[in-house]
Amino acid sequence: MNDPGGCMCSAHLDDGSGRIAELEKRIAELEIAEERFRTLFEYSNDAHLIFDVATGGIIDCNGEAIRMLRCTDKQQVLDIHPAVLSPEFQPDGRSSLEKSIEMDATARKNGYHRFEWIHRRMDGEDFPVQVTLTPVTLHSGPALLVVWHEITDIKRTEAELHNKIAIIEEQARQIRELSTPILEVWDKVLLVPLLGVLDATRADQLQSTLLQYVVARQAAYVIVDSTGIASVDEDVARRLIGIVDAVTLLGAKGAVVGIRRDVALSLVKAGVDIGRITTLPNVRAALAAQMRSHR
């Protein structure tokens, strides 16, 4: 005779064996996943650190973190108080402690947060990193996975680029000054011969330099010679007028010479009021007018 109870026990055993097999499979998958994570964690070119949220201490790190911080071994990293990993203030002037609390809160709110930061090695050297914060949950509780991507070389390259740009801009400024000489052709009479294109940048530079000359030389009369300007349109005319107006504010008189008749007509049609400044055909006429005014 068949034993119904025996069948039930066998069914339970089969069900239990299935569950055990499923658990063993799951454990094996977790072990593989952990091995993969540990491999990525340990051999990454970026520093990885895990911070315990409750204590704020470091509970794990990879080899790159040890190297980046210039520690002797992992235990030295784990013994570090997080406060010594940053200078007192960040480049924006904010307290590192205050700002780090804000960064952590942003990471918890958004699920991760990436930003630039200045950290400090154990030998006291500060270095720039791109930080990625990712909140995670471990068996021990909430934690923060921190990844540091050092950007020292990038920042050095950026600084070199900025320096080169500054040098180029300074050279360009000097060239602009040389291309627009200011000559004292008579006692307290300045001549500004313009050549090429008078764009906004050059006009501003010219006006600034000219005003310094007017004050230094105590100039009474300034002649702006536009003969060598490539073209005189509405914008250029307004810049010339602005230069003469600025000179007038310092108590000197100004005149623009070299504006052709056809250009003058087109400027009038465009509504540019050149009638309020003195315009003369050439430098000779301007000098003659200045001499007559002093007779």
CA distances from 182 to 93, 173, 185, 188 (A): 44, 15, 9, 12
Closest CA to 117 of 105, 99, 134: 99
| Per-residue pLDDT tens digits of the chain, which is 295 residues long | 455 555 555 555 556 666 777 776 676 656 655 655 666 666 688 999 999 998 889 999 999 999 999 999 999 999 888 888 999 999 999 999 999 999 999 999 999 999 999 999 999 999 999 999 999 998 889 999 999 999 999 999 999 988 988 887 787 666 666 566 888 888 889 998 888 777 777 788 888 889 999 999 999 999 988 888 777 677 777 888 888 889 999 999 999 888 877 667 767 776 777 777 888 888 888 888 887 776 5
CB 257 within 8 A of CB 221: no
Closest CA to 278 of 231, 236, 223, 230: 223
Closest CA to 194 of 185, 206, 186, 184: 206
pTM: predicted TM-score of the whole model, two decimal places: 0.54
**Per-domain residue ranges for the chain?**
20-155, 178-293
What is the homologous superfamily of the domain 20-155 according to CATH?
PAS domain (3.30.450.20)
CA distance 213 to 218: 8
Q: What is the CATH T-level fold of the domain 178-293, as seen in this structure?
A: Transcription Regulator spoIIAA (3.30.750)
- What residues contact 151, with CB distance under 8 A and at least 6 apart? 116, 128, 129, 130
